[in-house]
Structure 1
Amino acid sequence: MNVSVEYLGDKKFKANTTKSSYIMDCKEITPVEYFATGIIGCTGIDLVMMAEKDGYEVSDYTVKADIERISVAPMKFASIHITYDYHCGCEAQKAKRYILSSLESYCTTVNSIRDSVKVSYTIIHNGEKIADKESIASGGGTLLDDGFGGACCS
């Protein structure tokens, strides 16, 4: 992967990837906010792609994160709690499996921080809370072989 950032002036930067580019306006969204949305975007995309691979459609989907940061520089993330709220025709056990597969195996961004950041999650599936403030395993980088092959961010 190759990425670059060019300064355009007035706290604006052009971010370039091998696939595309976009403007980062740091007066509007800070790099830390881009990073945080990248984390939940990656795991969110995994969920949709895994469900689609199994023939299910995801609808009414929102993923949110509550992030605590250490109060002294460099103000690293101390914890992140991710809440998934979506509708899908799959049973609750499979809905939770999609999330755990992403969080513990496939999502590059989550797995890049999980050794140093406490990661927890809540899942609301078809209007019912099926997991509440549960934590993922941290520190081992263990890959689970669940047959999905990494949906996002490879």
Structure 2
Amino acid sequence: MINRKATAVWKGTGKEGTGTISTQSTVLENTQYSFNTRFADGKGTNPEELVAAAHAGCFAMKLAFELNAAGFTADELDATATISLDPAKGQIVKSAIELKAKVPDLSAEKFAEIADKAKKECPISQLLNAEITMNAELI
């Protein structure tokens, strides 16, 4: 079992309050978040942005492992995840992955098969209770 943790400290009301997020690795340390960073364009982070980063990173690493298992090594995997929060429902409804991949000697058909497997099996994909889409391009 591997355990990772992050801490959020919030002070005040939901709309006027402010918070900080810190991670075990200290990559984020007392990083600001607030109503404005979540629902407007304020300075700081927000939970959805952090989920998007986690999904993009997890997917890219899972894809690298799957490519290696199939006998390929990527020169570069450029993955972007866009998380969609529906404020009316109060839930994340979608994660859309955009992928540009440079993988020598890999056919488009095999690439699509491996990328789809990584999309379905990466731990963050399995965690999300949302639609997960992918637009994958082999360049």
Shift of 1:59: 2.3
What letter corresponds to residue 56 of structure 1 in structure 2? F
Shift of 1:51: 1.6
SS in 1 for 2:75: strand
Shift of 1:82: 1.0
Which one has a larger percent helix, Structure 1 or Structure 2? 2
SS in 1 for 2:88: coil
Q: How many residues align?
A: 119
Higher relative contact order (CA 8 A, sep 6+): 1
Shift of 1:3: 2.2
2:77 counterpart of 1:61? yes
SS in 2 for 1:22: coil
User: Structure 2 residue aligned with 1:77, among 80, 89, 92?
Assistant: 92
User: Structure 1 residue aligned with 2:51, among 21, 35, 40?
Assistant: 35
2:102 counterpart of 1:87? yes
- Native 8 Å contact 1:78 1:117 kept in 2: yes
Q: List structure 1 segments (4+ residues) > 3 angstroms apart after TM superposition.
A: 9-13
Listed as ranges, the gaps of 5+ residues in structure 2 are: 12-17, 34-43
Q: Using the aligned pairs only, state the percent identity.
A: 12
- Native 8 Å contact 1:87 1:125 kept in 2: yes
Question: Whole-Å Cα distance in 2 between the matches of residues 118 and 4 of structure 1?
Answer: 25
- Native 8 Å contact 2:95 2:131 kept in 1: yes
Cα distance change of structure 1 residues 123 and 112 upon mapping to structure 2, 3 Å threshold: same
User: Structure 2 residue aligned with 1:26, among 17, 27, 32?
Assistant: 32
Cα distance change of structure 1 residues 34 and 67 upon mapping to structure 2, 3 Å threshold: closer
CA RMSD for the aligned pairs?
Answer: 2.6
Q: Report the equivalent of 1:118.
A: 131
Question: Whole-Å Cα distance in 2 between the matches of residues 77 and 120 of structure 1?
Answer: 13
Q: Deviations over 1:100-139 (max 9, x none)?
A: 11222x21111111xx31111111012xxxxxxxxxxxxx
